Structure 1
């Protein structure tokens, strides 16, 4: 069953065509990778899906609804969450309070104003920290975490709203090889409750994580299919390996 369907999506920045008639289908319960050379439109596509960029033409359907013109907060309420490449956390709050604030925001303003929510949400907050191996850093300021841990924290925040679809833009950028390996391990369990679309340059990472790949080049879909099909694709090999 298709959770996300993008049809004929085009995005113009002045005279520059960043997306040129993109078609994309993401099935529920899958991990879907977006790969391609630098400047191929991967991040622009994620932002268009999330509502950060308004498409010039085309349509986006999510969970049976047309969200092409929906504001970002309405898409979030419908179950769509985006983590940008640069971590966006509250560095002067503790790691625990970052997660708590995200959980409170999920339940709206009354929850944010109620001091009782810390006790009510404590078990869920600690479980979210444990899921991304941050329990022992719960009381530390988020700004004191390593780069990789800050990325894990933000993924945890993005999952706090219990999204149906999580969009990740280069979550392993700047990580060590060990941190990248751990990131893959930490993401795999979310498959049981959340579909994933991920932009990533680390080919080994994305091959080991994703079921399906879409390859972009110059704002267009170059090819799509299983990891094995993309590995055998001559046109992908010619374009992708020469420009990444």
Structure 2
């Protein structure tokens, strides 16, 4: 059984049919890319998986559980984490405290008020920062980090609760070519414990890190397969590459 199964999912906004019978399956331990022209439904699908939008039809199953109408909180508790396109770090807190808060998200109010978890979680916070090359910026305000470093910090925060599946919406937007390359390197180690679904316009980046690609066009699945299969797809060449 796939870790994530999206079956015949549809989503409409008034007369606009943003998703029209979408089917995808994501296996545990794999990186799955969603690509397609602007307006093809990529971000809408990601939000439907995360619970930011509820589909009008179809079903979404995660780790054997139907989450079609589950709240974002319930999905997070089940092991699903999301990083949106726009960076959402807390700029007036240190990089350290941003990760600490992410780790404390499932703690009781009493534990937070009594600061019982800060010392216990110190090792996990520093490990997360080291993994994303931010250990030397731990005490710096998140707002003082470069754009690329803020993106890495938010990915570290999204991974802090140890999700089974991470959803990333254009994580390399606004990054330099070198930062995009490093981002790919930093993501690779999570395969051992976390699958990835990623929306990205940088085709070179997504082809380098993903095992499987789903191509969307006008709210429908245009093609689906390995990177090599998608590169050979005449449908993708005719419809997608000319409009990206």
- TM-score interval, normalised by the smaller of the two chains: over 0.9
Asked if residue 147 in structure 1 is aligned to residue 153 in structure 2, the reply is no
Q: Which runs of 5 or more residues in structure 2 are unaligned?
A: none
Which residue of structure 2 aligns with residue 14 of structure 1?
Answer: 14
**CA displacement 1:194-231 (0-9 Å, x = unmatched):** 00000000011011100000000000000000000000
Maintained 8 Å contact 1:101/1:112: no
User: What RMSD in Å do the two structures reach over aligned CA positions?
Assistant: 0.8
Alpha-carbon distance, 1:19 to partner? 0.2
For 1:67, the equivalent position in structure 2 comes to: 67
1:112 alignment counterpart:
112
Residue 173 of structure 1 and its aligned partner are, at CA, apart by 0.4
Normalised to the residue count of structure 1, the TM-score between the two structures is: 0.98
Give, in angstroms, the shift of residue 46 of structure 1.
Answer: 0.3
1:100-133, Cα deviation, whole Å (9 max, x unpaired): 1111113343432231311111111000000000
Task: State the aligned residue count.
Answer: 244
Residue 158 of structure 2 is matched in structure 1 by: 158
CA displacement 1:37-62 (0-9 Å, x = unmatched):
01100000000000000111110000
CA contact (8 A) 1:11 1:56 kept: yes
- Where does residue 199 of structure 1 map in the other structure? 199
Matched residues in 2 for 1:239 and 1:189: separation?
34
Q: Is the 8 A contact 1:163 1:194 kept in 2?
A: yes
* Structure 1 residues 220-239: aligned runs within 5 Å: 220-239=220-239
Q: Distance in 2 between matches of 1:46 and 1:33?
A: 11
2:51 match? 51
SS in 2 for 1:60: strand
CA drift at 1:160: 1.1
Gaps of 5+ in 1: none
1:168-202 residue CA offsets vs partner (Å, 9 max, x unmatched)? 00000000000000000000000011000000000
Tell me: CA distance 1:108–1:40, structure 2 relative to 1, closer, same or farther (3 Å): farther
| 3-state DSSP of counterpart to 1:6 | strand
- Per-residue CA distance 1:42-90 (angstroms, 9 max, x = gap): 0000000000001111100000000001111000000001100001111
Following the alignment from structure 1 to structure 2, what is the Cα–Cα distance between the partners of residues 108 and 30?
Answer: 33
C-alpha distance in 2, partners of 1:51/1:111?
A: 28
1:129 is matched with 129
Name the residue aligned to 1:218. Answer: 218
8 Å contact kept, 1:104–1:111: no
Quick one: distance in 1 between partners of 2:243 and 2:118? 49
Partner residue in 2 for 1:25? 25
Aligned match of 1:101? 101
